[in-house]
Amino acid sequence: MSQVQVVEHPLVKHHVARLRDALTSPAEFRLLVQRLAVLLAYEATQDLELAEVEIQTPLARTAGSQLTQRIGLVPILRAGLGMVDPILNLIPEAEVWHLGLYRDEATAEPVEYYSKLPPGRAVDVALVVDPMLATGGSAVSALATLRAWGVPQTRLLSLIAAPEGIAEVTRNFPATPVHVCAIDRHLNDQHFIVPGLGDAGDRIFNTTNES
């Protein structure tokens, strides 16, 4: 599990506590997801490649740096959408490619219902984002799709993870770094993370009482 990085920071711990609280409103929950996504992305992108460029300031010419790789954000629908905009604010040139996966409630296996990656050369680095890493099935399916596309570097960003999900990802994709804010105790019989934070998609999109 050397590829698993838990972001140990006071701000992360503070925001995760608010995220877990059942009394946190959907509006605040969305903001907390965004704040944590920024902190995760900061940690996950520390080794992106740079090239030196010369720029003109209002006073003089000087050396600067710019990113050289094509970066893709790959949210796993639907909850992953809550992490996209704040990361795009950090990397506005990033491409966004969606993967739609849901968990079959009977088998707990991922079912793909949407994937539209472009033909031709893949991005250089793909950041797969999903607030919850539970069984790991959806993450493994997404990473397999990106590998088939030809992405040379993949990274997984999740707010909360279960040990079972981490084990599944690292077993199938040992070279993929996994960045999380917290690793919880276990999955329950319904494959929910304990203590977790409930259903992230429902809490982001305020569909908890959806019939």
- Tens digit of pLDDT for each residue in 35-74? 999 999 999 999 999 999 999 999 999 999 999 999 999 9
Fold of 4-47+69-205: Rossmann fold (3.40.50)
- Sketch the domain layout of the chain as residue ranges: 4-47+69-205
Instruction: Say which of 18, 70, 147, 202 is annotated catalytic.
Output: 202
Residue 199 a catalytic site member: yes
Smallest Cα–Cα separation from 151: which of 73, 78, 79, 83?
Answer: 73
Residue 78 a catalytic site member: no
Confidence of residue 211 (pLDDT cuts 50, 70, 90): very low
Instruction: Say which of 57, 61, 107, 189 is annotated catalytic.
Output: 107
Instruction: Say which of 103, 170, 207, 208 is annotated catalytic.
Output: 103
pLDDT of 117 reads 83
207: Cβ contacts below 8 Å, ≥ 6 apart: 201
**What's the whole-number average pLDDT of the chain?**
91
115-157 pLDDT, tens digit per residue, is 778 888 899 999 999 999 999 999 999 999 999 999 999 999 9
Contact by Cβ (8 Å): 192, 162: no
Residue 21 a catalytic site member: no
Residue 202 a catalytic site member: yes
Q: What is the three-class DSSP state of 169?
A: helix
Instruction: Say which of 199, 203, 207, 208 is annotated catalytic.
Output: 199
Indicate whether 17 pLDDT > 80. Answer: yes
**Is the C-alpha dihedral spanning 113, 125, 132, 79 positive or negative?**
negative
Torsions phi, psi for 22 (to 5 deg): -65, -20
Question: For the residues 86-102, what does the mean pLDDT come to?
Answer: 90
**Per-residue DSSP letters for 23-70?**
T--HHHHHHHHHHHHHHHHHHHTTT--EEEEEEE-SS-EEEEEEE-S-
